[in-house]
Structures are given as C-alpha cells and as structure tokens.
Structure 1
Amino acid sequence: MWSITAANKGIGLRNEHILSLCNQAKIPQLDFLELAPENWMNMGGLKRESLDCIAERYPLIAHGLSLSIGDAQPLNIDFIKKVGDFLDYYDIDIYSEHLSFSRDRTGYLYELLPIPRHRANIDYLADRIKRVQDIIKRPLVLENISYYYQYADEMAEAEFISELVDKSDCELLLDINNVYVNSKNHHYNALDFITSLPSKAIRYYHIAGHLEQDDGFLLDTHGKAVNHEVTTLAQQVIKYHGLRPLLLERDHHVPELARLCTELELLHDSIAGEKQVEEDWYAQSA
C-alpha cells in the first residue's frame, strides 16, 4: 500500500488532466490524487486503463459522494461492498465521505444536506459508521460540509462531531474552506470550531476557493483560487493540529495541470512554513 506522509499535498483527479497525467513522468510537486470511486469503479475500457496508468505513478485517496451516511434509509450494502473492492484493488488506504445525507425514500437528491445535530442522532450515526467500517475494513473518514440551513435546537457542530468520533472511531477530513464559509454565513468563530476538534482523529485536510455574493453570503464553489483569509485560517489549523496531507480542490474553472500544481506548491509552502516533516504521520498514529 502506498505511503502518504503528513507533509504530502495533492489535487483531485479531473477529466481535464487525465491525459497529461498518463503521458508524463510523475510530477514532483504532486504527491497524491483524490478521486470519487463512484466515477470509476464501474468503468472499463480506456478510462479504466487510464486509471491503472495513473495509479502506477501516484498514491490514490478515495472521496465518495453517494454513501449518504446520515439519511433514514437502509445502508446500500451492495454499493459499500463494491467501494471496498475498489479500494482493495487500487491499494487505497483512505476512504472519505461527507457527514451529510443525500437520499430520501424517492432516491438520490444530488445534494449534500446537513444532518440535524441532535444528540439523539449520534448513536444512530455511529452504528451506521461502524457497519461501513466493518465492510470496507478501514476507518470511515468524514468531512465537515458547508451548509446553508440550520435546524432548531442543534448541538454545537464541533461538539457533535467530537462525540460522533468518540462513539464510532471514525476519522475526520477537516475541510478548512468549509469551516471558513460556515463561520461567515452562520456567524461563529472559525478558530473556536477548529480547536474544539480532536486532533488525533484528523486524517487529512481539504482547502478550496469560494464565491462571495453581493450580499456577503459565501458559496462553497471550488471554482476559484484560495483567498488570503482561508490561507491564514489554514496556517492556524497547522499551528494547532499539525501537518496532515493537504488536498487542493478545484471542480470548476479548472486550470491546466502545470498551473494547478504550481498553485498547490505555493499554497502548501505558505501554509506549512517550517513545519515540514519527513515522518509518516499514519505510522506515528497507528
């Protein structure tokens, strides 16, 4: 299984870059790639051959879209088993998903919706997480989502997440841009949220750009460069929680590969500063 260290940095695998990644040697600035397993695990032919080629050069991380861990429907066991087989085939150690729901009784909603942060929901979620982990034989790594709606009488988000981690032994994907976006839209202190999370549970980080509307409301678009405020928050995250692998997300207005890798390198250098380490964080945490 590929080793990804705490000092590593990566980008999402996008269709725009597949040929470039296959047709050149490993890019020095790029340590790993993240993909959505749903977009690949049922594919054959040239697309699967391209993934095989890329997997020979780069470690892969899986970031799913369809688990819907927080919905009220039975878990899709067949789907989870297929994800587990895909992870095994490509020696993918990390499978992350969203702490959200995206299904109802009519099917998939194609949106990541927030789970009501009520204490009564924690045991329900923890049981579902444990069942997923039993099938994939890995920790489930859950991401804090950006959200635009809040329910009544909710627990504080960091408290809810921390208790869920404690009950389920899941791990966390800390999305730094999502914290920033939510803190501005819902008027809370981003650093208080970050420092309330359990450091040991954080497996890796996401960072991205967002769109500010005329009224000041922020949208998590992954369509722009990371701004100064999010970079500063990321520096505070590293100072408090330490280095983890960093993934730069860009889903819209995707630059050509060389430019994106340069952006990744400059961003990582700015955030990590002198905290570069050579040790494998996963080995330290085992």
Structure 2
Amino acid sequence: MREITSKGAGIGLRGEHITALLQQPRRQDIDFLELAPDNWMNIGGVKQEQLADISKKYPLIAHGLSLSIGDSCPLNEEYINDVRRFLDEYHIDIYSDHLCFSRDRQGYLYDLLPVPGFTDVLPYLAARIDQVQNMTGRQLVLENISTYHRYAGEMPEAEFWGELLNLSGCGMLLDINNVFVNACNHGFDAFEYIRSIPSSSIIYYHIAGHLEYEEFRLDTHGMPVLEDVLVLAKQTVQFHGARPLLLERDNNVPALETLCAELTQIREYLL
C-alpha cells in the first residue's frame, strides 16, 4: 500500500468510477481516494465488499458532510462514534469536514452554511473541535467553504481562521478554489488570505472548478479547474510547500480516464 505523501494527488471516490477502479490494476496516477464516510458507514453487502477491495489498492481520506461543527445543537455523538469506527476499520488517518453548520433543531439541512465569523464564536468552536478530536482519536481537519453572504461586523475570513487554528489545534483543509471564489465575491486578495494561514496547520489541499457570471463566482465542482485558480494554486504550493492535493468533481463527473488526465496535468503544473 502506498502512503499519502506531500506530493500525492487524488480524486474523490464517485459511484461513476467504482467499476473501473475495481477492474483496473492500481493506477499510478491516483495516489489516494477521498470519500464521504456518511455514504459508506454502516453498510453491508456488495457496497461493503467494493470498498474493502478499493481500500486494498488505495489509501483513503475521509471527508465528512454531517459533522455540523458550527451549529447550536449538541454534537451528534452517535454519528461521531460511527465515524470513529469507520476510520479505524479502514485505517484512515485524515478525517476532515467543513467549517460550517448544516443542522438545526429540526434536523439536517443538506447544505453547508457559513459560521458567522465573530470573535465570541471562537471559544465555542474550539470546545466542540476538542470534543470531536477526543472522540475520534484524530486531529480534526476543517475546510474553508465558499460563501455568498457576510454578516455586518464579522472578522475578515482569514483572520477568523488564524484565530481558530491557534485556539483549537485543528488542521485546515485549504480549498484553493473556495478562497478564489470568496475573494472575487467578497472583495479581498486571495493570495494574501493564503499567505496568512500558518503553513503548519495546512494538512491537504482541494482544487476544483467554478462558474463565472460577470463579477460573480459560483462554486459548482462541476467543471475543469480554471486557469486563475491554477495560478493561485501554484503560488500556494510555492509559499506553503506541497501537500496532498485532491481534485474535486461532484457534478458532470467525466470518465475516469478524463479526470485522471486533468489530475496529471495539474500535478505537473504545480510540482
């Protein structure tokens, strides 16, 4: 089994590619696969057998969808315990989710909503992060999400992240495309944001495509990575150094060969 190195590159595990990944020998252009534990936990039958076979070929990273670290409800301990068992079963060291909330007292909202970036939110988040890390036995890695609204009086996003990383000890999944989208939509300098993040806190990178509507940017994960984002990614790697890189494609998912060809081009451009 190959290890996930700082120069490793991977893709998300999508249903469209499972048959090909199972039938082909281990690909040399995929160093790891990222999957949502929410879609694979507590399963049996064929799907469990497929994941067991894939995990023998490729190291896995877990990228959760339902932690909802920023909501006002008690943490879902049953869910977190299920995640812990899943991580242990498949020997997954890196567990990430989103700095967001996706739940209220009535249930899950099935969207990733931004946490208001106010100073008094930071101790609350840090305490919840500590609880998750204790329960999973791993550092929690959180992703910066794309946002389309800012509340009056919020801290600058990068400053909020810096305070949170220092206070909580969590890691950051730096989504370079999301920084670019937010910079365009909210009017800040994308590279200055990235420069301000402590290098030691960055665990891995995401990169993806988005749509442009005049001055507005919409994060879609449904198209190839745009040149401006690639340029920002190269600046990021030059400044912070290489990290495992995940090419995201959640919509309009192409054939495995097409996606791997894009991954190879990105890897060669950045490294």
- Shorter chain as denominator, the TM-score bin is over 0.9
The CA distance in 2 between the partners of 1:56 and 1:116, in whole Å, is 41
Q: Is 1:108 aligned to 2:108, yes or no? A: yes
The CA distance in 2 between the partners of 1:226 and 1:205, in whole Å, is 14
* Corresponding pairs, count: 271
Unpaired stretches in structure 2, ≥5 consecutive residues: none
The CA distance in 2 between the partners of 1:77 and 1:102, in whole Å, is 15
**Runs of 4+ deviating beyond 3 Å:** none
Give, as a single letter, the amino acid of the residue that structure 2 aligns with 1:217.
F
Contact residue 140 and residue 171 of structure 2 kept, 8 A: yes
Q: Is 1:248 aligned to 2:247, yes or no? A: yes
1:210, CA displacement in angstroms? 0.3
The CA distance in 2 between the partners of 1:172 and 1:2, in whole Å, is 23
1:216, CA displacement in angstroms? 2.8
The CA distance in 1 between the partners of 2:25 and 2:3, in whole Å, is 19
The CA distance in 1 between the partners of 2:54 and 2:65, in whole Å, is 21
Contact residue 2 and residue 91 of structure 1 kept, 8 A: no
Equivalences for residues 142-181 of structure 1 within 5 A: 142-181=142-181
Contact residue 170 and residue 201 of structure 2 kept, 8 A: yes
Residue 284 (structure 1) aligns with: none
Give, as a single letter, the amino acid of the residue that structure 1 aligns with 2:86.
F
Residue 230 (structure 2) aligns with: 231
Contact residue 206 and residue 247 of structure 2 kept, 8 A: yes
Residue 50 (structure 1) aligns with: 50
CA RMSD of aligned residues (A): 0.9
Contact residue 22 and residue 50 of structure 1 kept, 8 A: yes
Equivalences for residues 76-115 of structure 1 within 5 A: 76-115=76-115
Secondary structure, aligned partner of 2:129:
helix
Contact residue 141 and residue 170 of structure 2 kept, 8 A: yes
| TM-score, with structure 2 as normaliser | 0.98
Q: Which string of whole-angstrom CA distances, capped at 9 and with x for unpartnered residues, describes residues 155-210 of structure 1?
A: 11111111111111100000000000000011110011000101100000000000
Contact residue 41 and residue 83 of structure 1 kept, 8 A: yes
Secondary structure, aligned partner of 1:188:
coil
Residue 269 (structure 1) aligns with: 268
Give, as a single letter, the amino acid of the residue that structure 2 aligns with 1:230.
V
Secondary structure, aligned partner of 1:56:
helix
Q: Which string of whole-angstrom CA distances, capped at 9 and with x for unpartnered residues, describes residues 131-171 of structure 1?
A: 00000000000000000111110111111111111111100
The CA distance in 1 between the partners of 2:156 and 2:226, in whole Å, is 26
Contact residue 175 and residue 206 of structure 2 kept, 8 A: yes
Contact residue 2 and residue 31 of structure 2 kept, 8 A: no
Give, as a single letter, the amino acid of the residue that structure 1 aligns with 2:254.
P
Residue 71 (structure 1) aligns with: 71
Unpaired stretches in structure 1, ≥5 consecutive residues: 273-286
Contact residue 20 and residue 257 of structure 1 kept, 8 A: yes
The CA distance in 2 between the partners of 1:99 and 1:237, in whole Å, is 20
1:3, CA displacement in angstroms? 2.5
1:2, CA displacement in angstroms? 6.2
Contact residue 133 and residue 139 of structure 2 kept, 8 A: yes
Residue 31 (structure 2) aligns with: 31
The CA distance in 2 between the partners of 1:71 and 1:186, in whole Å, is 23
Sequence identity, in percent? 57
Between the two structures, name the one with larger relative contact order (CA 8 Å, sep ≥ 6). 1
Give, as a single letter, the amino acid of the residue that structure 2 aligns with 1:92.
I
Residue 201 (structure 1) aligns with: 201
Residue 277 (structure 1) aligns with: none
Structure 1 residues 148 and 218 mapped into 2: Cα distance closer, same or farther (>3 Å)?
A: same
Give, as a single letter, the amino acid of the residue that structure 2 aligns with 1:255.
P
1:105, CA displacement in angstroms? 1.2
Give, as a single letter, the amino acid of the residue that structure 1 aligns with 2:49.
E
Contact residue 139 and residue 170 of structure 2 kept, 8 A: yes
The CA distance in 1 between the partners of 2:240 and 2:206, in whole Å, is 14
